[in-house]
Amino acid sequence: MLPLHRTTSSTTFGARGPTINPRARGVHAFDGDDAKGMKKRPITPTQIALFVTSNWKQLSAVFSFGVLLFVLRRLSNSGGDAGGAAVPVANVVTTSVPVAIVAESPSPLAPVVAGPPKLEGPKLKEKASKEKIIDASKNSPKQQIPPGGAVVPPAKPVQPQPKPENKVTPAADAEVSLDLSAFDDSRSLPMNPSEFLKIKVATLASNKELTPALRKKVWDARAQAVTRSFAHAWDGYVKYAWESDELKPNSKTGNSWLNMGITILDALDTALVMKNQTIFAKAAKWVLDGGLAMDANVNANVFETTIRVIGGLLSAHHLAENGPEKDGLLKQAVRVADKFMPAFTSSQSGIPYNSINLKDGKATTSDAFFSSTSEATTVQLELKFLSHLTGDPKYWNAAQKVSQVLFQSPSDKTAKYDGLVPIYIDPKTGNFNGLEFRLGSRADSYYEYLAKQYLLTNETEPFFLAQYRTALHKGIKKHLLMRSQPSNLMYIREHLGALGPGGRKEEKFDHLVCYFPGTLALTATKGKRVPSDPLERAKILTGQEMEELYMAEELAQSCFEMYHQTASGLAPEIVFWKPAKDAVSAAKELERTWARFETSAPKDNSVKLPIALETVKKVRDGDIMLDFDIHTNDKHNLLRPEAVESFFVLYRITGDEKYREWGWNIFRSFEQWSKVATGGYTSLNDVNTIPPPARDKMESFFLGETLKYFYLLFSDDAILPLDQYVFNTECHPFPIFQVSDELKKQVAWMQ
């Protein structure tokens, strides 16, 4: 037999186990015991088999040790980039905010990732990395800290000794830097959805191990990122669409449909909230220098003008410091309101016509001579606040006349619909037209303004709260509230035809409906913070209020899934839910759950957890499965604010950090896919295509609502507190006010 020898010692065994010589080239056969000087020749398969058979124990040990070395090497390198593809850094903005955190949540509710997600079907599955702390003493000052690591100040040398495995809380004076690779002006849409706008050392501010001061600094840094986005959107508008209603960022031009420069007016108070005096000064100067000409021969929509133009002017007037700008903005609001009064005074019924010709001031209507119900009933906050500021009752009375027609002329027209309203109303007769019921387009803000009229006047008009709760508990719960399959998510469907079993139901859910969780939570709590523990909540809220807040949280989850379950991380305009087989039980479930809480607050400590919180099963251990379909014509995203609006309200009321994380994920997706390098943000045509095709339109509400709600969600609760302010449907904040005795004598009052 020819013995086998190695040409060089490729493997040796010692006290530390086998070591591998990387220079060893192979195994050869030699004649005789002395290999020196012998000619090498290849071994045969038989010889290899004999060698393996006789040496299998040694070979097994070598293989096992090699695997162990490989694993140890990978573990030692795990503090680096967690598998993420590198993205060229166009500009790195280091904030002056001292922060250093690394903590990433494995929860699908707040997937903040360091590596690139895999695209699986219509969803992006993201893998979160674990928290890692890196000793700064082992890194040179110029060394870049990987995304998975956090820097702590170097400690003095100490003698090694056993220590308990307690995680280190990062110091509150460490520093955080925002890697804004998504802001690369060389490309309009960065391609890696996991790498844009990542915080190099701070990823999850809601980590429970962080100190409150440190968590606040992270969220302040994120709020500042929103201010930069606002400036970027504004710069694009100024550069390419100044005085137009909105920007078309991809084609670098403007578009007008209201002919009032509404992006300027929607952005006025956003600039004040974000403390951007430069943008505010430019916008206010345009308004005060005659930019609002209102002399074009076009029909301007009464509703849009009221919520955007009058609302924006009134809010900016309130927030502005004393001076000529403050007074001038109020005068402009009065001027616009007077221009549009004929829409109310020309109506035979008191229901306003939907348009005014800016040139001749004549009122007109469309939609086969019918007005949209939501448009006719969403002017009350603005006109009542204007009367409060000026002392002139005509604006209040014009708005209140609409309510009188609906509820008192001669009787409540909504009663036969269980408090719901059809989506069209005839301004000539004041009667509803058709039998379409929904909380989306043409009906949405009707329900919102019922609740907010009650809140704005400091709860002095309980009539509106009663109407709101009738619609909610008799109409919405009975006819529209549903659960999905397989995840048992709550949603609100549409109803076509007569209410009841004979009508046609449609599982259609507009993104617009995502305003409703915020309205539910706001009305249930009057804007005040409540405990996170349901048992503690039950001591201060009635059973009805508990139920409304529960509905708000459930519907907010459904709205988040509209974002979480798409490839881009952005929601489509419309989804069609898959109803659970026993979906009719949604309202009954709520009734059973909260019946025990119907006694007056405060509650005693013997109260048990709600049934729903104990028994409702949801498929939420991993990623939610798709509970809805997205039709071809509904895949677009218009940069809408409604979901973020509700997350903002729910965070302020519950203190649950998940709503902030949801908002942060959505903000990052807008930065990833909608930001245009030359200025502005674009709407998108298909949220399930990567990259999503641009739709080339930046609505004014992106500056007036979406970015403002992001900023407020990430900012301190002391900014515009919800128990002191009410936001109109365009996110223009009005202070809650007490109606003066003098004004009360001159205005119509709903009893």
The amino acid that residue 115 corresponds to is G
User: What is the DSSP secondary-structure string of 432-500?
Assistant: EES-EE-SSTTTHHHHHHHHHHHHHTTT--HHHHHHHHHIIIIIIIIIIEEEBTTT--EEE-EEESSSS
444 noted as active-site residue: yes
**Six token digits for residue 239:** 């550069």
The amino acid that residue 597 corresponds to is F
H-helix or E-strand containing 12? Answer: strand 11-14
- Neighbouring C-beta atoms of residue 167, cutoff 10 Å: 10
Which residue carries 């928290």 as its tokens?
Answer: 131
| E strands, 588-666, in order | 628-629
- Going by the DSSP 8-state scheme, the letter that residue 193 receives in this structure is T
573 noted as active-site residue: yes
Q: How many residues does the chain have?
A: 751
Residue 82: phi, psi to the nearest 5?
-75, 60
- CA nearest 420: which of 442, 398, 402? 442
Rg (CA), the chain: 32
304 noted as active-site residue: yes
Q: Which residues pair with 577 in a beta bridge?
A: 628
Per DSSP bridges, beta strands 92-94 and 177-179 are antiparallel
User: What is the DSSP secondary-structure string of 238-276?
Assistant: HHHHTTSSEEETTTTEEE-SSSS-HHHHHHHHHHHHTT-
C-alpha–C-alpha distance, residues 710 and 641, integer Å: 9
C-alpha–C-alpha distance, residues 590 and 545, integer Å: 12
- Which residues are within 8 A (CB) of 388 and not within 5 positions of it... i.e. 6 or more apart? 396, 737, 739, 740, 743
Percentage helix, strand, coil, to 5, in the chain?
40, 10, 45
Catalytic residue of the set 245, 269, 304, 730: 304
- CA nearest 174: which of 206, 210, 129? 210
- Residue 590, classified by CB atoms within 10 Å of its CB into exposed (0-12), middle (13-18) or buried (19+), is buried
| E strands, 276-407, in order | 299-301, 355-357, 363-364, 371-372
- Which residues are within 8 A (CB) of 76 and not within 5 positions of it... i.e. 6 or more apart? none
C-alpha–C-alpha distance, residues 431 and 422, integer Å: 10
Sign of CA dihedral 634, 637, 642, 645: positive
Catalytic residue of the set 184, 195, 245, 444: 444
The answer to whether the bond into 602 is cis (omega within 30° of 0) is yes
Residue pair 384/396 in contact (Cβ under 8 Å)? The answer is: yes
Residue pair 184/677 in contact (Cβ under 8 Å)? The answer is: yes
Catalytic residue of the set 418, 561, 642, 686: 642
- Neighbouring C-beta atoms of residue 70, cutoff 10 Å: 10
The answer to whether the bond into 486 is cis (omega within 30° of 0) is yes
H-helix or E-strand containing 653? Answer: helix 642-654
Cα 692 to Cα 246, 649, 689, 701: the distances in Å are 21, 29, 5, 21
Q: Does 729 belong to an annotated binding site?
A: yes
Cα 357 to Cα 3, 131, 260, 296: the distances in Å are 104, 61, 13, 8
The answer to whether the bond into 410 is cis (omega within 30° of 0) is yes
Residue 288: phi, psi to the nearest 5?
-75, -20
C-alpha–C-alpha distance, residues 158 and 155, integer Å: 8
Helices 380-390, 324-340: inter-axial angle, 10-degree rounding: 130
Catalytic residue of the set 266, 573, 627, 730: 573
614 noted as active-site residue: no
Residues that constitute the known binding site: 729
Residues that constitute the known binding site for Ca(2+): 729
Residues marked active site are found at 304, 444, 573, 642
